[in-house]
Structure 1
Amino acid sequence: MPKRLQKPRGMVLSVLGVITLAVAILSVAVTYDILAPWFGGWAVPTVGALDALWVVFQATEILAGNNKSRTRRVQYAGLALTLINAAVPTAHLILAAKGGAPLDLAVVITPIAVIATKGAWWMALPSLGRPVSDTTRQDLATKRQTVADRLEEMEAEAAHRIELLELATTLETRVAAAETKYRVSVLKAQQDMTQQLHGQAETTEKTIAEKPLPASVAAIRLPELEGWEPTAPALPGTAVTDRHAIGTQVSGLPLGNGTPDGTPAQRAARTAALADLAAVAGVPVPEPGEPLTDGQLDVVLRHLRYVDDPPQSYRQARDSFRDSGYVGSEARVRRAWSALMAKEKAGGTQVDRDGGAEQAEEEEPEDAGA
Structure 2
Amino acid sequence: MNTIKNLRPSPRGTVLSVLGLVTLGVAILSVAVSYQILEPAFGAWAVPVVGALDALWCVFQATEILAGNNRRRVWRVQAAGLTLTFVNAAIPTADLILSGPGGFDLAVVLTPVAIVFTKLAWWIALPSLGRRASAKTRQALDSKRQEVDDRLEEMEAEAAHRVELLRTATSLEKRVSKEETRYRKAHLKMQQATTEALHKQAQSTQATVTEKALPASVAAIRLPDLGTWTPTAPPLPTAPVLPAADRDAPGTDDMGSHAGQRGGVGNGDHDRHTSRDADRDRVTLEQLATVTGVPTPEPGEQLTDGQLDVVLRHLRYRDEPPLSYRQAVATFRESGYVGSEKRVRHAWGALMSKEDTTTGPTETAGADSDDVDTDDDSEDADA
2:156 alignment partner in structure 1: 155
Equivalent pair of 2:37/2:92 in contact (CA under 8 Å): yes
Choose from 47, 56, 60 the match for 2:59: 56
Q: Which runs of 5+ in 1 are unaligned?
A: 221-229, 241-370
The structure-2 alpha-carbon separation of the partners of 1:119 and 1:201, relative to structure 1 and needing over 3 Å to count, comes to: same
The structure-2 alpha-carbon separation of the partners of 1:70 and 1:184, relative to structure 1 and needing over 3 Å to count, comes to: farther
The structure-2 alpha-carbon separation of the partners of 1:17 and 1:202, relative to structure 1 and needing over 3 Å to count, comes to: same
Letter in 2 for 1:168: A
2:229 alignment partner in structure 1: 234
Secondary structure at the aligned position of 2:227 is classed as coil
1:286 alignment partner in structure 2: none
What per-residue deviation string (whole Å, max 9, x for no partner) do you get for residues 295-339 of structure 1?
Answer: xxxxxxxxxxxxxxxxxxxxxxxxxxxxxxxxxxxxxxxxxxxxx
CA radius of gyration, larger in? 2
1:113 alignment partner in structure 2: 114
Q: Which runs of 5+ in 2 are unaligned?
A: 236-383
Are residue 211 (structure 1) and residue 212 (structure 2) matched?
yes
1:188 alignment partner in structure 2: 189
Percent of pairs with identical residues: 63
Post-superposition offset of 1:67: 5.0
1:202 alignment partner in structure 2: 203
The structure-2 alpha-carbon separation of the partners of 1:88 and 1:133, relative to structure 1 and needing over 3 Å to count, comes to: same
What per-residue deviation string (whole Å, max 9, x for no partner) do you get for residues 133-190 of structure 1?
Answer: 1111111111111111111111111110111001101110111012101101210111
Equivalent pair of 1:64/1:70 in contact (CA under 8 Å): yes
Distance 2:177 2:67 in 1: 67
2:141 alignment partner in structure 1: 140
Equivalent pair of 2:33/2:107 in contact (CA under 8 Å): yes
1:18 alignment partner in structure 2: 21
TM-score calculated relative to the size of structure 2? 0.53
TM-score calculated relative to the size of structure 1? 0.55
Are residue 35 (structure 1) and residue 38 (structure 2) matched?
yes
What per-residue deviation string (whole Å, max 9, x for no partner) do you get for residues 65-114 of structure 1?
Answer: 3555654443343223212211110111121125x23x344323321221
Distance 1:198 1:156 in 2: 62
Distance 2:5 2:90 in 1: 37
Secondary structure at the aligned position of 1:201 is classed as helix
RMSD of Structure 2 on Structure 1 (CA):
3.1
1:287 alignment partner in structure 2: none
Secondary structure at the aligned position of 1:132 is classed as coil
Are residue 79 (structure 1) and residue 82 (structure 2) matched?
yes
1:273 alignment partner in structure 2: none
Secondary structure at the aligned position of 1:237 is classed as coil
Within-5 A mapping of 1:251-290: none
Distance 2:206 2:173 in 1: 48
Distance 1:233 1:140 in 2: 102
Letter in 2 for 1:140: L
1:328 alignment partner in structure 2: none
